[in-house]
């Protein structure tokens, strides 16, 4: 989820913590738990700072080790012990328990996005991305914000947030049922489907779709249970050639390939250089594909420059590519 949603989730969880008698009856513990749930709801995304280095490092590591099983165990211990230094009168066990819940919930809700996490590390580096919920879901953010407003104006947080979480469980199950129905419709229309990758949008019934079959990739969008195919590409394996073997060793391209499960590739040979492009098919927006990797090399297989990342404007894509040597 986005930073704002994780923030309001942390506040709401701090309010829900008042159902715990130890938290409710001990002001210092309550204050520590509220701080801990807010911090714990944000801390796994500390790896966002990697974007300051470059996109390749960010793509390879964001939602990786900081969302892993060891991290989910260690973050609450670190946060609880740090708070204990400032609030030695708190009940450390209950501060740790609610911090653990905040960290776990952060990682748990992230797996429902199309981006996903490597939540199974160190046992598996596979990206877990269920594709039920958009990174920013207006309903999820809105119901948390509304609950916090009611709390500010004096309503009992135990009632507010207990009710809110029951509603959210129902919401997630409903999203799952919509997704399941849509996948069934797609498989009936494209019988040789091997995999369906759904990316929910901020619009409740609208989805981006990438379908993998034995011989083709299909790109589509859906509204409710109907979908429209907008692009299709031949599924061509990467060739075992000097050009491609050089390209896939590039840092930016390797990061792209480690993250993208469905992409097409292109090779353009010019007089002065060779350009190899990899285009992720999951995020089609306004007739173009914003997540890609590109590498340029000379005819001696020396890499001149490369890039990977998300660019949502065709004009910015052209500008980004124009800075590459011609």
Q: Of 234, 253, 268, which residue constitutes the final position of a domain? A: 234
Residue carrying the six token digits 């260690």: 74
pLDDT tens digits for range 228-268:
999 999 999 999 999 999 999 999 999 999 889 999 999 99
Model pLDDT, residue 323 = 47
Q: Tell me, yes or no, whether 20 lies in a domain.
A: yes
Same domain, residue pair 65 and 144: yes
CA distances from 323 to 265, 279, 307, 319 (A): 21, 19, 11, 7
Highest mean pLDDT among 248-252, 313-317, 319-323: 248-252
Same domain, residue pair 117 and 223: no
172 vs 310, residue with greater confidence: 172
Please, which pLDDT band fits residue 50 given cuts at 50, 70 and 90? confident
Q: Tell me, yes or no, whether 227 lies in a domain.
A: yes
The domain of 197 spans 192-234
Same domain, residue pair 20 and 169: yes
Would the pLDDT of 182 be above 50? yes
Distance CA 37, CA 45 (A): 14
Q: Angle 3-16/138-152 helices, nearest 10 degrees?
A: 40
pLDDT tens digits for range 90-138:
999 999 999 999 999 999 999 998 888 888 888 988 888 898 999 999 9
Would the pLDDT of 321 be above 80? no
Q: Tell me, yes or no, whether 184 lies in a domain.
A: no
214, 220, 221, 227: CA torsion to nearest 10 = -70
Model pLDDT, residue 166 = 97
Same domain, residue pair 196 and 168: no
Query: What whole-number percentage of the chain has pLDDT above 90?
Result: 70
Same domain, residue pair 64 and 206: no
Same domain, residue pair 17 and 165: yes
Short-list 60, 28, 62, CA closest to 48? 62
pTM across the whole model: 0.88
Domains: count for the chain: 3
Same domain, residue pair 16 and 129: yes
Model pLDDT, residue 314 = 60
Same domain, residue pair 131 and 201: no
The mean pLDDT value for 58-79 works out to 90
pLDDT tens digits for range 185-233:
999 999 999 999 998 988 888 999 999 999 999 999 998 778 899 999 9
Across the chain, what does the average pLDDT equal?
90
Same domain, residue pair 26 and 95: yes
């Amino acid at each position: 989820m986005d930073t704002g949603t994780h923030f309001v989730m942390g506040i709401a969880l701090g309010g829900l913590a008042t159902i715990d008698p130890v938290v409710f009856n001990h002001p210092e513990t309550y204050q520590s738990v509220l701080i801990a749930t807010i911090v714990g709801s944000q801390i796994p995304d500390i790896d966002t700072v990697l974007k300051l280095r470059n996109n390749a490092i960010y793509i390879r590591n964001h939602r990786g080790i900081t969302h892993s099983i060891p991290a989910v165990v260690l973050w609450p211990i670190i946060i609880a012990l740090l708070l204990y230094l400032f609030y030695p009168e708190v009940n450390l066990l209950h501060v740790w328990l609610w911090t653990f819940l905040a960290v776990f919930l952060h990682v748990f809700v992230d797996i429902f996005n199309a981006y996903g996490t490597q939540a199974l590390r160190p046992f598996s580096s596979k990206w877990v991305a269920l594709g039920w919920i958009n990174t920013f879901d207006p309903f999820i953010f809105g119901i948390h914000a509304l609950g916090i407003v009611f709390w500010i104006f004096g309503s009992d947080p135990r009632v507010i947030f207990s009710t809110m979480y029951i509603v959210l469980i129902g919401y997630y199950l409903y999203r799952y049922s919509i997704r399941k129905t849509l996948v069934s419709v797609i498989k009936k229309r494209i019988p040789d489907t091997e995999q369906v990758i759904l990316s929910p949008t901020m619009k409740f019934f609208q989805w981006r779709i990438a379908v993998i079959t034995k011989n083709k990739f299909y790109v589509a969008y859906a509204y409710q249970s109907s979908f429209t195919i907008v692009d299709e590409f031949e599924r061509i394996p990467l060739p075992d050639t000097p050009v491609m073997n050089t390209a896939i060793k590039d840092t930016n391209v390797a990061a792209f390939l480690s993250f993208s499960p469905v992409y097409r590739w292109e090779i353009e040979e010019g007089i002065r250089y060779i350009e190899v492009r990899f285009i992720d098919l999951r995020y089609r927006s306004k007739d173009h594909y914003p997540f890609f990797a590109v590498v340029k090399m000379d005819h001696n297989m020396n890499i001149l420059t490369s890039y990977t990342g998300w660019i949502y404007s065709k004009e910015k894509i052209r500008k980004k590519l124009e800075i590459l040597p011609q």
